[in-house]
Each structure stands twice: as structure tokens, then as C-alpha cells.
Structure 1
């Protein structure tokens, strides 16, 4: 197989750590020997994206056709962020289209609500940040109280720092435990909770 391509899709109001945590894990995975290339992308060409805490990020480009698409959360209980992305509809449509084309799709935190709106969580186990659990249950039906939920081609993770654990699990699943362990050591991070799947 060629190098795995991973894209983390940004939108105004995304939570910084939801995106940057997995990005750093996957980049460290590449340095540890994983055949993966990770980019931060946006739906439409734009010079900067502003995150929920004010961080401004210059995306690498527009959403392509990645093997792995990571959707961060941020802003479900406030204006902007995930709530605005769901109301706008274009991001859920793009996520559904990439999944239909064979991409593995993963969400962090309230990004699960974008996956739910895209129709990817019906009949599947899923998790999200605690502030969105009731809404997720109403939209998807099967909420699992685990830090990372792996249902094969669709994965979800709990709130904020769970994105680091999600990315470590993806490294382990795709490239082996040695690479994931090396990244854990490099980042001085200790995974907690469980992976359901």
C-alpha cells in the first residue's frame, strides 16, 4: 500500500486541541516509521481559519480524497463551530461523500455531531464530549461510554484530549503497537480509558 493519507478538516470555531493533538500524534507517528502523511485542510480555499480559543491556523489546502478523515469538534453548545457547520450542511455532506468513497472517518469530541448529521452513525456505537451525549443519543442511538469507539471505518472519541488517544489507537491499528508506543513515549502521554470495538 502507498502511504496512508490523513486529513484533519478545519472550520471556524473548531477546538484547537481536537485537531492539533491528533495532528501531532500522526506526525510523530510518521517520524517513528509509520507510512502516513497528515495535512490540515479546509472545505474552501482560505488563508486562515480561526479556532474556538482564537488560534489562527493556515491550512495546507482544501479537502481532498484522504484514506483517513479526522473531524474535530468545538462549539456545539455555543454559536459557531460544529453547530454552525451542521446548520450550514456542506461539511457533513463532504464527510459523507468521502466515507462513501472509502475513507475511514474519525471524529473528536463534538465532531461526532457532524458525523451524525452526515448519516454515518445510524446503528453504530459512538461517543462524544459529555455536553453532546444526549444529542448524540437522539441522533445516533447507540452511545458507548468509552474514550475511543472503533467501528471499523467510523471511529469516534470523547472530549478534547481523547483525540490524542484516538490518534494513538489509529497508529496502533494501522502500523502496529511499537510505533504507537514510541509516540506515547515521545509525547510523554499515557493513554487512559478503553477502546470499544
Structure 2
């Protein structure tokens, strides 16, 4: 029986590695014994989502009520699509806030932190993001720290792109133990970088 549900929410213009890196870590953790179900989801039903580098992904379904919700970044500095469009639209930030209020742990990768900031989850909290959005994140009243992964309990943030792998490995270690995290790290042949702030 699966105890923990994790959903990674996709939107047009998301950065591929922001989502797929954590997805692979969490899937490998499930294969290594973590009681975990991982899905790629969207807000509304759709056949395909187009990422920032034109990768097209078929989601597993729509956003449910996960225990863990991961929000990727991508497209903060571009005019079309991505995080900036999602923040301006406001629907996904509202959905993130709603899941958080219902008890979900929420994590962001890269500029996905701007979606968490728009949801009101980072005010007065330590947080990190990709360097291109650090000033904007600070302007949102977050306490921006120069760290790869920031764990503030029920809200976590990770810096640029590849830090999503370290974020997911930390979540695996935190929730399912060092042995499973070590097994996944070995499987990926990944060298974890930086300490976790928080």
C-alpha cells in the first residue's frame, strides 16, 4: 500500500530537468523500497505539455490532493509561457496555496519559487531560486539565502535547474531514510552538492 503521494505539476514552458530530475529520483526511491507514488500532473486535463526546450510530455492526470507537491521553474525571463505566465495568470499559485492549506508539503525547483511566492508561501521564510530570479524573490518578502536546497519544514525550495535532483534526494532521505537515498544516489551516479539549509 502506498503511503505517500507525490505530484509534479507541469505547465507549458516548464524546464524539463526541473521536473524530470526529481521525477526520476522519486521513481527510483519507490523502486528502492520507499512507499511512494509519483505522478506528473497538470491543472487541467490535456494530452501533452510542451516544455521550455520543446520536449512534449504526456501527463498522468490532473492535480489531486498529494502529500508532496513539486513545482518546477522555467521561463521566468521569457515573454511567452513558463513561470511568468503562470504567475500572471494566478490559477496555479492559488491551487498550490490550496494544497498547502490542506496539509501538503510544497517544494519548488529553480524559478518555481516565484509560483510559491505568488501563492503567499514564502513570505518571511528562507528560500532560494535560480540566480535570475533572486532579486524578484527577495522583493516578494522571502528571506533569500544563497543555498542549493532550503528546507523550511512544509515548504522547500531549490536553486537552479540541477538542484532539483538534490532537493528530491534530500526529500527521500528526510521521509524514507538514508539507506534509500544512498541507493538512489548510487543508481543515478550522482554526486550530491551542498548542504541543506534549514
Aligned runs of 1:113-152 on 2, under 5 Å?
Answer: 113-152=114-153
Equivalent-residue separation in structure 2 for 1:83 and 1:183 (angstroms): 33
Match of 1:103 in 2: 104
Match of 1:191 in 2: 192
User: Which runs of structure 1 show a deviation greater than 2 angstroms over 4 or more consecutive aligned residues?
Assistant: none
Residues 146-193 of structure 1: per-residue CA shift (max 9 Å, x gap):
100000000000000000000000000000001000000000001001
Match of 1:22 in 2: 22
Residues 22-69 of structure 1: per-residue CA shift (max 9 Å, x gap):
000000000010001000000000000000000000000000000000
Aligned length: 197
Equivalent-residue separation in structure 2 for 1:196 and 1:140 (angstroms): 18
Gaps of 5+ in 2: none
Residues 89-143 of structure 1: per-residue CA shift (max 9 Å, x gap):
0000000000000000000000000000000000100000000000000103300
Match of 1:47 in 2: 47
